[in-house]
Each structure stands twice: as structure tokens, then as C-alpha cells.
Amino acid sequence: MAQSSLLGYPRIGRKRELKRAVERYWSGKNSEQDVVNTASEIRKAAWGIQNKHGIDQIPVNDFSYYDHVLDTICLMGIVPERYNFNSSKVDIDTYFAMARGAAGKSNDADCSCGNPASHSSVSALELTKWFDTNYHYLVPEFDAGTPKLASDKPFVEFDEAKKELGKAPKPVLVGPVTLILLGKSHTKPLAEHLADLLPIYAEILSKLKDAGAEWVQIDEPTLVEDRTDEERSLYQQAYAGLASQSNRPKIMLQTYFESLNGNWDTAVGLPVEGLGLDFVRNDENREALKKNGFPQDKVLGAGVVNGRNVWRSNLNDKLTLLEEIAQTVDKDRMWVQPSSSLLHLPHDLDLEEKLDQDVKNILAFAQERLEEIRVLTKGLNEGRNAVKAELDANQKIFDQAMKSTRIYNAQAQERVASVTEADFSRNSPFRERIARQQAVLKLPEYPTTTIGSFPQTKEVRSMRAKWKKGSISDQEYWNFMRERTKEVIKQQEDIGLDVLAHGEFERTDMVEFFAEKLEGMAVTEHAWVQSYGSRCVRPPIVYGDVYRPEPMTVDMIAFAQQQTDKPMKGMLTGPVTILNWSFEREDIPPYQTANQIALALLDEVTDLQKAGIRVIQVDEPALREGLPLRSRKREEYLDWSVRSFRLATSTGVDDETQIHTHMCYAEFNEIIAAIEALDADVISVENSRSHAELLQAFTDHKYERHIGPGVYDVHSAQVPNTEDMVEMLQRSSKVLPEEQIWVNPDCGLKTRGNEEVWPSLKNMVDAAKEIRARQPVGAD
């Protein structure tokens, strides 16, 4: 009999109870016990619902107060010196200090910069993206002393679940090799770090065995990335070591997010009792299995339903896949499971009351996946007839969806199909365009601007909350927003910025704002997914063909332009970012959706142009993070993402209209050709934290277009001084011609306070004035 299994369940709570509990704890309004109690209730609910759906292998230790990699850091006792940790177990305050810094700022919760650790004045562990998801983990530091077991979390949760369920759950651990490869500040060869960790892992396995664990799931998702031979040998070292330990549970080595590909032989050859594979991301594992077979002595964890995307599974197709796998692997040695932890899915669909029924029908969140796993396991074990009713009902939903005009829009499809090569290029080359733009805009050297948003004060937030609740009228709300916009324009004029922004007060989130207005995209009420710590995001869902029923930003931007003679930037979110920060369709390739979004944006760009807007910024902060995990797949991704940006900014866009884009990072070396290929007239980028890196990219690669390397870090509360910014500009001018350089902060100002923003911008404008007045660099 095949078993059903889960890799992990959402842990923030159905209504984000954990978020509230820990945030109250941080602000001193909750006791540690309150947090412990909330956490325990969340775990109980998760185990209860899995049990109810008959899941055989229920995970434990998948829960976390903040992050499961941080939990593993504590488990291994690798706490960096700066946290002054010197007891036997990591306490909750040390734990949160590592997560947030000892004096974290409180208004960082909405920042979309992806680098929230930098908001704190005391240094937290670095936060970075978990593979290609929107989840972020804390980076282990391997110069933090000798590992020792310094947490009893897995044992406590194991006992708790065992008591609750009346059977042994399956503890989940981040594997030793993945922990090392995701870490930094290594002080010796990785094999030696691994040798330090293995005794701790062995101790944990032995304790779990004593507590009654039959299986343990050890996650090694780094096995799905490109690995060197040396790295591959780490897995052999690790699992030969752990396997030789006699007192231990059986090991399910779990991979996810991609196929094993070149690491197939390594993974399959490891002396463990089970191997978990992702059969959703692509067909590569499926084909490898057919070609290579599978060891007779191992259990195969067959990840057949999507742990990362929200579409209901077609159960007929999934069952076919399972039956095919069962031709290679005996059913008794199969686990039916999701492709990854369900951490990356919203909790459950029942909470969504406003979603269109056509859309709701085709969705499955974490809770709905449980039923899919139940049906599939039963179908595999007992035959299709045993689940006939479920299969038929499921098929009917898919048949109906095919007919939905909300999902399939003939016009949008025709439009995207009729795009020709010419639609991806502007009328004239950059050199000619920039001369025409300059004739219209008449900007000084080193023009100054901002990235777009200005502080979203308490007042702005509370007005929006009132409006959403219906306690103020549309008119009151928009009057208020216009007043704020007017004010911020006046302030920008007063300090002497050259290209102004309207402030984005009417936008909560740069993707949600557009998703609300585009057809084919839906926003949810409660579909929260953990991004990092207590921060959750509610990604919109692209459920069908995307098009723009009416202008989205033109009224506001035109109003803003009327307030000033200076150029006002139209402000849009780019197609790749809208797509990457949403749940995407599975029935068409992502490039098609990107192009549909691009065409909707193109209409907006040309409407803005018609309304007299001469500078239009199309933000693409998520371009880089969409890079596939496997390097050989990157070129294709960059190709279609660049094309979708160009599609949004070319046809009908006059040479005189200046297209800007913005990205919140400076790691450009790998993608600089793609950045250039965007053909944006001006790009503003993060730079203040990674100045050297950025400049290196431009030293190695001659860049022709205009660029604003951020002159100060918006994530720091400090007001930057003029001299530092002048110096930064001078350094930039050594690798870039002066006429290409713009002066701007490195990201939006939304999460900052007005008290810092205005003095900072004033100093920035002064820096531009000063450098304009100086002799060109290199002249004596």
C-alpha cells in the first residue's frame, strides 16, 4: 500500500494568528507564554486537519516562530558571537535577535525591497530568498564556533504531536549539506564544516529514534541546483556518515523545486531509505525515473500535486502519473505527496468570500491539497473505481472551466497572437531618442529624481482603511489622496528635484494595485503566504487572459502633472514583476501571460503619453529573482522577460517619451546584457550597499544608457550627508560617462518617515549641485 505524506504545512495560522502573537511579543504586549500557546494551537490545528484527511506521514518541526533555517541554526548552536549567547539552549530573545537585530525598526513590515534585515540598526543575520520562492530564510554564519545541540524544538514538537495523534509523526530537518551550502563565512573546507555538523545530526536522529520516530524527512533541496563534483561528494560524506549510525529512524531524503538532473546518480546512490522527488515542476524526474529505474530498497516520495501554486489538480492526470511511476516503483514503496512543503500556499479557500465562483472552482490552497492527496492515494491503492465519484466531479470542474469566458478571453488571446517582431522595438535607437528627450525635458547634468513612493504615513494608512471599510466616501478618499499628492509635489519642487513623482499614496502594494484593475487577475482577502518572519504577502492570482478594461493610473498622474511645470513620472509596475509576484497560470507558458500583461501596460503607457506625461517609469524589481535555479534555463527566461518589458514600452511610444525602469539590487554582472536589452532610457538601481559590485559590472561591460546608481540606502534611518553622496557620484563617474548619471535614492521611500526623507533628499539635491559645479573628473 502506498502511503500519503506531507512535507510541511502553513504555519502562520489560518488568520495569521502567529504574526499577531509574535509582533505583540516584540512590542512588549505579549508574554513568551502567549506566543508559545498560539504556536501550539496552530500546530494542533495543522496536525488535526491532516489526520482528518488520513495523511499517513504527518510532518513535525515544520512549524517555526520565524524561519526553519533559523531553527536549524539554533539546533546546531551556530549562534554568531555578536548575540552573546553562552547558555546551553537558545532562548526566544536570542532567537528573535538573530532574526531581526536587537533593535529592529518597526515600520519595515511593508517594504518590498527583499532586504529587510538591513532595516535594523543592529545587525541581524542576513535574509535572503529561499531558492526561487518568495520565502526568505536567515543565512547561517559558519564562523560562529563549534556546533553543539542547542535546541530541543524537534523533540518537544515530536512528543506533542505523537500524543495528539496517537502515532509517530515524521520530523522534518534541514539537511546538513543544504545548511552548509546556504550558509556563509565558512572558515575552512566545506567537508570540514560538515564533519563538525554530523555528530549533532547523529545525536538528533538517535534522540528521535528513542522518542519513537520511524521516519525522519531530511530536506536537501540544494540537490536540484547545479553542483560541482566536490559539492556532490558532500552528500556522500553526510549520508554515509548518518546511515552508519545504528540508532536512527529511516531517512527520507527530500528534494523539491526542480528535478535532480545531473545530481540523479548522486542522490539515488545515497545510503538512505527514501528519496523524495518533485514531479510537478517539469517532466525531467519522470523521464529520469523511466530511463534509470529506481533502487529496489528505497521508498519514493512522489511529489505529484503542486506545493507552490494554487491550481486545483486534475486528478485523472495525476493518477495517470502515479500509475506510471508505479510501473517502476512498487506501490508499497511509494508515498503520495505534494511537490514541496505547503508553506508556500495560502491556508484555505473557505475564507475567500469575494472571489468569483468560476475562479474559486479551479483553485486549491493547502487545505484543499489534503483532499487531493487522500483521493490520489486511495485511487492508487484501490483502483480508479474506488474514487470514481471524486474523479468525475473533478473532471467536471475542468470541463466547465474550459468554457469560462472569465478565464478565456478571445480578444486578449488574439491581440497577443497578432504581435509582430516590430512590436518589441522602439522607433529609433537610444542615441537618437535621448537627444530628442533632452530637447523636450531640458534636464541639467546629473538630474535628480526619486524612485516613486513617498512615506505612507499613519494618516494615509488610516484613510485607506476607513475607505475600504466604507466609512468614508470615494470622494472624501480621493480628495484626501489628491491633497497629499499636491503636497508632496510642492515639497519636491521646494527642495529642487528635477523629475518629480506623485508619491504612490493610493497604492498599498505595487502589484496588487494593478492586479485589482486588470481583468484576468484576482486579488484575495485572506490568501496570505509567509514571506519572512511575521511578514506575509497576498500574491494576486492570474486566473485567465489578462487585459486592461480601462486606464489605471492616468487620472492620478495627469492630476499630478497639472500641479507642476517639472516633468512628472508616470509610474507603472512591469510585466515580469506583476507576473513573478503573483500565482501564475499553469495552462499557458509564463511568457504568454507576461506578454498579455505587457500589452495591458502598453495601453497605459500610450494613454499616459497622450495625457502629456513625458517620463514613464516601469518598475521591474522582480526581474532578477525570477531567474531559474538551473543555469542552463536562465537564458530562455531572460529572453522572454526582456521581450515582455520591451513589448510594454515600444509600439506607439514616441522617441521623446523617456522610459525609466527601477530594480532594487546591484548584482548585475550575470544579467547586465539583459538589463541593457530592456532598452530603457534610464534605469535606477540599488547601489549604496553594493557600490563596488555595481561599478564592477559597468567596468566589465560598457553600458550606454542612462543610469541612476542609488546614492543612499533608503533602508537605513540615517540622513545621508552631502559629501558622501558627492563621493559616491564621483566614483560612479569613473566608470560611467557623466552625462549618463542620474542622482536618486536606491529604492522607494514608502516605509520611511517624512522627518528623514526630506533632509535626505535635500542633501541629495545639494550633492547633485555640488558635482555639477565641480570640474569633470580626470581634468586638472
Active site residues: 715
Per CB under 5 A, does 60 bind Zn ion? no
CA angle, residues 375, 376, 377, in degrees to nearest 5: 95
Cα 358 to its chain centre, rounded Å, is: 27
Distance between CA atoms of residues 118 and 629, nearest Å: 25
CA angle, residues 579, 580, 583, in degrees to nearest 5: 75
CB of 285 or CB of 684, closer to Zn ion? 684
**Contact status, residue 387 vs residue 379, Cβ threshold 8 Å:** yes
Minimum distance, C-beta of residue 560 to ligand GLN, in the bound complex (Å): 14
CB of 286 or CB of 624, closer to ligand GLN? 624
CB of 401 or CB of 747, closer to ligand GLN? 747
CB of 391 or CB of 757, closer to ligand GLN? 757
**Contact status, residue 626 vs residue 620, Cβ threshold 8 Å:** no
- Cα 622 to Cα 346, 641, 714: the distances in Å are 21, 11, 18
| Chain residues that interact with ligand GLN, rule: CB under 6 A | 112-113, 451-453, 504, 510, 571, 619, 621, 662, 664, 747-748, 750
**Contact status, residue 561 vs residue 608, Cβ threshold 8 Å:** no
Which residues have CB under 8 Å from 437's CB, separation 6+?
614, 655, 656, 657, 658, 681
> What is the 3-state secondary structure of 164-183?
HHCCCCEEEEECHHHHHHHC
222 binds, among ligand GLN, Zn ion, none (CB under 5 to 8 A by kind): none
CB of 559 or CB of 665, closer to ligand GLN? 665
112 binds, among ligand GLN, Zn ion, none (CB under 5 to 8 A by kind): ligand GLN
Of 148-156, 335-343, 359-367, 615-623, the segment contacting Zn ion by CB under 5 A is 615-623
CB of 367 or CB of 577, closer to ligand GLN? 577
452 binds, among ligand GLN, Zn ion, none (CB under 5 to 8 A by kind): ligand GLN
CB of 510 or CB of 653, closer to ligand GLN? 510
DSSP string, 262-290: GGHHHHHTSS-SEEEEE-SS-SHHHHHHH
321 binds, among ligand GLN, Zn ion, none (CB under 5 to 8 A by kind): none
Distance between CA atoms of residues 566 and 500, nearest Å: 7
CB of 381 or CB of 453, closer to ligand GLN? 453
Cα 134 to its chain centre, rounded Å, is: 2
CB of 374 or CB of 660, closer to Zn ion? 660
59 binds, among ligand GLN, Zn ion, none (CB under 5 to 8 A by kind): none
Minimum distance, C-beta of residue 113 to ligand GLN, in the bound complex (Å): 6
Minimum distance, C-beta of residue 710 to Zn ion, in the bound complex (Å): 8
DSSP string, 331-372: GGGEEEEESS-GGGS-S-GGG--SS-HHHHHTB--HHHHHHH
Distance between CA atoms of residues 430 and 432, nearest Å: 5
Minimum distance, C-beta of residue 750 to ligand GLN, in the bound complex (Å): 5
- Cα 514 to Cα 370, 551, 570, 601: the distances in Å are 32, 10, 14, 10
Distance between CA atoms of residues 107 and 755, nearest Å: 14
571 binds, among ligand GLN, Zn ion, none (CB under 5 to 8 A by kind): ligand GLN
681 binds, among ligand GLN, Zn ion, none (CB under 5 to 8 A by kind): none
510 binds, among ligand GLN, Zn ion, none (CB under 5 to 8 A by kind): ligand GLN
619 binds, among Zn ion, ligand GLN, none (CB under 5 to 8 A by kind): ligand GLN
* Residue number with the smallest Cβ distance to ligand GLN: 748
The dihedrals phi and psi of 88, each to the nearest 5 degrees, come to -85, -25
CB of 140 or CB of 621, closer to Zn ion? 621
Write the interaction track for Zn ion spanning residues 710-749; mark x where CB under 5 A is met and - where it is not. Answer: -------------------------------------x--
- Cα 657 to Cα 436, 616, 621, 661: the distances in Å are 9, 7, 22, 13
**Contact status, residue 174 vs residue 228, Cβ threshold 8 Å:** no
Minimum distance, C-beta of residue 746 to Zn ion, in the bound complex (Å): 7
> Could you say which of 49, 664, 678, 685 contacts Zn ion (CB under 5 A)?
664
200 binds, among Zn ion, ligand GLN, none (CB under 5 to 8 A by kind): none
Which residues have CB under 8 Å from 753's CB, separation 6+?
107, 455, 457
Of 167-175, 200-208, 559-567, 613-621, the segment contacting Zn ion by CB under 5 A is 613-621
**Lookup: cell for 67:** 524561519
- Strands 541-547 and 519-522 turn out to be antiparallel
Residue whose C-alpha is closest to residue 510's, from 602, 590, 613, 601: 601
Distance between CA atoms of residues 776 and 769, nearest Å: 13
Minimum distance, C-beta of residue 460 to Zn ion, in the bound complex (Å): 19
Report the amino acid identity of residue 435. A
Minimum distance, C-beta of residue 747 to Zn ion, in the bound complex (Å): 3
- Cα 4 to Cα 192, 249, 300: the distances in Å are 37, 18, 11
Minimum distance, C-beta of residue 621 to ligand GLN, in the bound complex (Å): 4
Minimum distance, C-beta of residue 684 to ligand GLN, in the bound complex (Å): 9
Minimum distance, C-beta of residue 619 to Zn ion, in the bound complex (Å): 7
- Chain residues binding Zn ion by CB under 5 A are 621, 664, 747
